[in-house]
């Protein structure tokens, strides 16, 4: 089973730039214009509302808010819904994309209220099908600080807790964000999608960050192109210089031939050693011209060989990468785990290389936990990359055959017991 994607992000101001991206009034570089006609609007705007930005304002004006909206207050929350690329391709190929869209919208309606989801668009012109939904964060629960005040100041007249408020922070608490992930994964389970790793360090890349990375890559590619063009210009100029020299020498050759004819005529009249000397000089010039022409041909051949070698090497690298992906698919899954072990667990490069052999390694020493920000002793501990359960598809770090998070928590519980402190309440495994 693949993983669901459910990402929430607070918008700033009217969010008109994102409206242009979502509704394709401006076309992004990562979108295929030949497929833009496949995009769909999943929620129709109210009469007189022309776009997503206007729909946000329309909801705010009709929500019955009593307080004035602050200039820095969050007016909308962006929600991105999707799944693993291969699973979204499977859903589309099976003709289940409409059902997936319907179930995704129904989850949003049930969770946040139909009236608060003001916009939803399906994008089919990017790499993976996904939905851009927009939530206006209207809540009716009492504020947390208000609840505390009511416990102390019971003699004041309490305002109605059912008054609508604009509050993105109430919607995006840590606990609620986790419950959204759990709830959406449950709603998508019959589509063959499951929740991602709880606590994973993987993060969604925002549209703005994606464009910044794309622009950086474009600048680097342009720099490489400029460098190659400069090298080509130098080679072209060298070739033109050689050709000019060859033409000059050919003119000299013609002049020498004419001079030879003249001297032959003179020699026939006067004879003498001067004619023979000129003939020798003429022969030397011919040999010099032949040498220059040979050098020019060699340079041209060398340039062609360099270009062919570059194309061959590039093709070989592309073919090599494709073979690695085809015959060793676990490499892509192991790379994030290797980065985690190198940067967070402070494993040596040699140990990580051995672990990639998917065989247990016995280690002794101190192992670092980023959750508790401390090291724990390990004596002849088995360390391996593998699956804690046979049904798991992702690789994790196993310590003595259990997930490393659970292993560290067991060691922490023992330490607390040794110190006479009560054990903390049982927690789920954080990934």
- Contact present, 21 and 207 (Cβ < 8 Å): yes
Tally of structural domains, the chain:
3
Q: Does the residue 158 lie in any domain?
A: yes
Name beta bridge partners: 234. Answer: none
Q: Does the residue 216 lie in any domain?
A: no
Nearest to 385 by CA among 425, 423, 340: 340
CATH number at residue 60: 3.30.930.30
**Of 3-7, 229-233, 319-323, 326-330, highest mean pLDDT:** 3-7
pTM recorded for the entire structure: 0.47
The pLDDT score that the predictor gives to residue 329 is 79
> How far is 334 from 384, CA to CA, in rounded Å?
12
Range 397-403 average pLDDT: 94
Q: Is the pLDDT of residue 253 over 90?
A: no
Q: Does the residue 44 lie in any domain?
A: yes
* High-pLDDT (> 90) share of the chain, %: 54
Q: Does the residue 82 lie in any domain?
A: yes
Q: Does the residue 42 lie in any domain?
A: yes
Helical packing angle, 174-187 and 97-112, nearest 10°: 150
The dihedrals phi and psi of 202, each to the nearest 5 degrees, come to -65, 135
- 305 in the same domain as 363: no
From 326, 350, 376, give the residue that closes a domain: 326
Between 173 and 325, residue with greater pLDDT: 173
Name beta bridge partners: 377. Answer: 366
The pLDDT score that the predictor gives to residue 431 is 47
Domain that holds residue 340: 331-418
The pLDDT score that the predictor gives to residue 281 is 84
From 296, 326, 356, give the residue that closes a domain: 326
**Residues 126-159: pLDDT tens digits?**
999 999 999 999 998 766 555 555 555 555 555 5
> Hey, is 378 helix, strand or coil?
strand
Over the chain, what is the mean pLDDT?
85
């Amino acid at each position: 089973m693949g993983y669901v994607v459910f990402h929430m992000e607070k918008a700033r101001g009217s969010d008109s730039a994102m409206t242009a991206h979502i509704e394709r009034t401006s076309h992004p570089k990562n979108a295929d214009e030949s497929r833009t006609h496949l995009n769909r609007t999943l929620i129709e705007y109210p009469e007189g509302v022309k776009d997503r930005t206007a729909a946000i304002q329309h909801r705010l004006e009709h929500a019955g808010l009593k307080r004035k909206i602050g200039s820095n207050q969050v007016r909308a929350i962006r929600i991105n819904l999707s799944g693993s690329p291969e699973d979204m391709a499977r859903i589309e190929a099976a003709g289940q994309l409409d059902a997936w869209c319907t179930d995704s919208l129904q989850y949003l309606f049930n969770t946040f209220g139909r009236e608060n989801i003001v916009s939803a668009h399906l994008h089919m012109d990017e790499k993976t099908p996904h939905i851009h939904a927009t939530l206006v964060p209207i809540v009716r629960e009492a504020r947390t600080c208000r609840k505390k005040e009511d416990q102390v100041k019971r003699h004041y007249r309490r305002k109605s807790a059912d008054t609508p408020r604009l509050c993105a922070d109430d919607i995006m608490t840590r606990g609620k964000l986790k419950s959204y992930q759990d709830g959406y994964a449950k709603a998508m389970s019959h589509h063959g999608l499951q929740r991602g790793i709880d606590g994973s360090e993987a993060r969604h890349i925002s549209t703005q960050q994606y464009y910044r990375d794309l622009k950086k890559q474009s600048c680097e590619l342009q720099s490489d192109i400029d460098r190659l063009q400069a090298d080509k210009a130098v080679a072209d100029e060298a070739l033109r210089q050689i050709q000019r020299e060859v033409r000059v020498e050919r003119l000299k050759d013609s002049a020498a031939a004419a001079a030879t004819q003249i001297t032959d005529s003179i020699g026939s009249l006067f004879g003498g050693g001067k004619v023979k000397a000129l003939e020798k000089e003429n022969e030397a010039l011919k040999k010099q011209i032949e040498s220059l022409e040979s050098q020019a041909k060699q340079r041209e051949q060398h340039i062609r060989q360099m270009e062919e070698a570059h194309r061959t090497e590039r093709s070989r690298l592309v073919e090599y990468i494709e073979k690695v992906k085809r015959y060793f698919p676990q490499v892509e899954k192991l790379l994030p785990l290797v980065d985690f072990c190198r940067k967070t667990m402070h494993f040596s490069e040699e140990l990580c290389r051995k672990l990639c052999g998917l065989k247990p390694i016995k280690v002794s020493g101190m192992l670092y936990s980023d959750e508790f920000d401390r090291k724990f002793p390990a004596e002849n501990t088995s360390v391996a990359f593998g699956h804690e359960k046979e049904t798991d598809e992702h690789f994790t770090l196993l310590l003595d055959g259990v997930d490393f998070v659970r292993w560290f928590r067991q060691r922490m519980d023992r330490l607390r017991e040794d110190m006479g402190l009560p054990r903390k309440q049982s927690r789920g495994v954080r990934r």
